């Protein structure tokens, strides 16, 4: 089987396929990590810790070139501009802006920026994810358009998307980078082209529907990073998370080759990444105190470490190297404590998802498994 963009092979391990006494064929798949030509997972535990500290223990598939930290700043400006309109009775957009914000600012976003600003994912994902667009879901179109104009966005007449040239300093090279950021209101597309197959709303369930159907690596990676911090028991999005399970039910019910391969790939990634996360946690616990060793991490190295986060750079500039060492040590300690739960969430979810998928293929006497 191939996934939606035909770039990922989803084939069972032929030598491990078997038929049980009840006539069920068991198709066994291997665990896989996302392909990253720029990173090889080290076998040595200290090297793994160093990779983690340097920000490269996991890289995330992305669909753009602008750091989400930067894009989120632009999204906040737009949302705050709409909020400003809702607080100004003299504005011609006053009533509509109030109506737009009745469910809160985050409800106006879809996709990557909703996940980022709503804190649906891991902190690591938020630091390392890149994108080129902000997807809105605003019924009062003129309110959004007014806010964008006020902030210097320009509408592209061909694509009907709003554009703004963004500049930022590359965290590692310190060179200035620039790219065009787009802001699209998905409801504009609905009005122009009718209901698209993926444009269903802004809830987590709607986001999963789109990502499961499309199934690119970036989609599956985003789902995985949401699963890491949500289990329906702990977390700030429990009700929405429980409702989102319906998207997996709907996807499995299709029994389409594409959706089935996407679900199998998702489970393969989850099991592999869970194993990797456990190893990182063990490495952090063992070597975290080495961040205080100035022969390994002199002050200039501490500053380099901070380059992966705008907030860390600001902290370093305001507080100096020693305070930053303590901050990083505390952060790594929290990460080490959180990661086993993240790994468990993934394994539990992957098992549940495989059980769901297999229930849809029971009539074909087919069982999908991931090797241990």
Whether 209 is covered by a domain: the verdict is no
What is the spatial distance between Cα 169 and Cα 310, in angstroms, rounded to a whole number? 10
What is the spatial distance between Cα 136 and Cα 202, in angstroms, rounded to a whole number? 9
CA distances for 193 relative to 41, 188, 211, angstroms: 45, 8, 21
Residues 53 and 69 in one domain: no
pLDDT in tens, 236-254: 677 888 899 999 999 999 9
Both tokens assigned to 368: 């999908």
Q: How much of the chain exceeds pLDDT 70, in percent?
A: 91
Q: Strand 154-155's sheet: what is its strand order?
A: 109-110, 133-136, 176-185, 162-169, 154-155
Residue 54: what are its φ and ψ, rounded to 5°? -75, -5
pLDDT in tens, 197-239: 445 678 899 999 999 999 999 999 999 999 999 887 766 677 8
Whether 160 is covered by a domain: the verdict is yes
Taking the alpha carbons at both ends of the chain, their separation in whole angstroms is 21
Residue 212: what are its φ and ψ, rounded to 5°? -70, -35
Half-sphere exposure of 360 (CA within 13 A, CB side): 19
Residues 100 and 232 in one domain: no
Domain that holds residue 182: 63-202
Cβ atoms 350, 273 nearer than 8 A: no
Residues 225 and 369 in one domain: yes
pTM above 0.75, yes or no: yes
More confident residue, 327 or 55: 327
Q: What total of structural domains would you count in the chain?
A: 2
pLDDT(81) > 90 = yes
Whether 115 is covered by a domain: the verdict is yes
Residues 21 and 68 in one domain: no
Using the 8-state DSSP alphabet, how is residue 201 labeled? -
Residues 223 and 353 in one domain: yes
Put residue 24 in one of left, alpha, beta given phi > 0 → left and psi -120 to 50 → alpha.
Answer: beta
pLDDT(134) > 70 = yes
Residue 102's pLDDT is 95
Cβ atoms 144, 138 nearer than 8 A: yes
Both tokens assigned to 178: 């620039």
Decide which of 202, 235, 270 is a domain's last residue. 202
Residue 57's pLDDT is 58
Cβ atoms 133, 181 nearer than 8 A: yes
């Amino acid at each position: 089987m191939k996934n939606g963009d035909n770039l990922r092979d989803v084939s069972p391990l032929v030598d491990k396929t078997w038929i049980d006494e009840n006539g069920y064929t068991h198709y066994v798949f291997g665990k896989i990590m996302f392909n990253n030509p720029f990173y090889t997972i080290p076998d040595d535990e200290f090297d793994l810790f160093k990779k983690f500290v340097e920000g490269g223990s996991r890289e995330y598939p992305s669909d753009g070139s602008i750091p989400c930290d930067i894009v989120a700043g632009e999204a906040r400006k737009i949302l705050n501009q709409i909020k400003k309109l809702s607080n100004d009775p003299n504005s011609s957009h006053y009533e509509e802006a109030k109506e737009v914000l009745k469910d809160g600012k985050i409800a106006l976003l879809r996709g990557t920026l909703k996940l980022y600003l709503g804190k649906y994912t891991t902190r690591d994902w938020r630091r390392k994810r890149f994108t080129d667009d902000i997807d809105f879901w605003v019924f009062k179109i003129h309110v959004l358009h007014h806010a964008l104009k006020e902030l210097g966005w320009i509408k592209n007449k061909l694509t009907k998307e709003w554009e703004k040239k963004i500049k930022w300093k590359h965290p590692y090279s310190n060179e200035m980078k620039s790219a065009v950021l787009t802001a699209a209101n998905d409801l504009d597309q609905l009005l122009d082209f009718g209901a698209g197959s993926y444009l269903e709303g802004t809830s987590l369930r709607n986001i999963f529907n789109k990502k499961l159907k499309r199934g690119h690596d970036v989609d599956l990676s985003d789902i995985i990073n949401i699963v890491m911090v949500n289990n329906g028991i702990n977390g700030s999005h429990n009700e929405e998370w429980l409702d989102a399970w319906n998207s997996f039910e709907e996807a499995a019910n299709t029994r389409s080759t594409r959706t089935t391969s996407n679900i199998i790939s998702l489970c393969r990634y989850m099991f592999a990444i869970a194993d990797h996360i456990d190893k990182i946690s063990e490495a952090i616990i063992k070597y975290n105190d080495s961040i205080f060793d100035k022969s390994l991490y002199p002050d200039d190295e501490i500053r380099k470490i901070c380059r992966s986060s705008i907030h860390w750079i600001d902290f370093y500039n305001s507080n100096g190297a020693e305070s930053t060492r303590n901050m990083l040590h505390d952060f790594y300690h929290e990460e080490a404590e959180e990661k086993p739960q993240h790994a468990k969430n993934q394994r539990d979810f992957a098992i549940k998802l495989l059980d769901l998928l297999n229930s849809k293929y029971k009539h074909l006497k087919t069982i999908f498994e991931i090797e241990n």
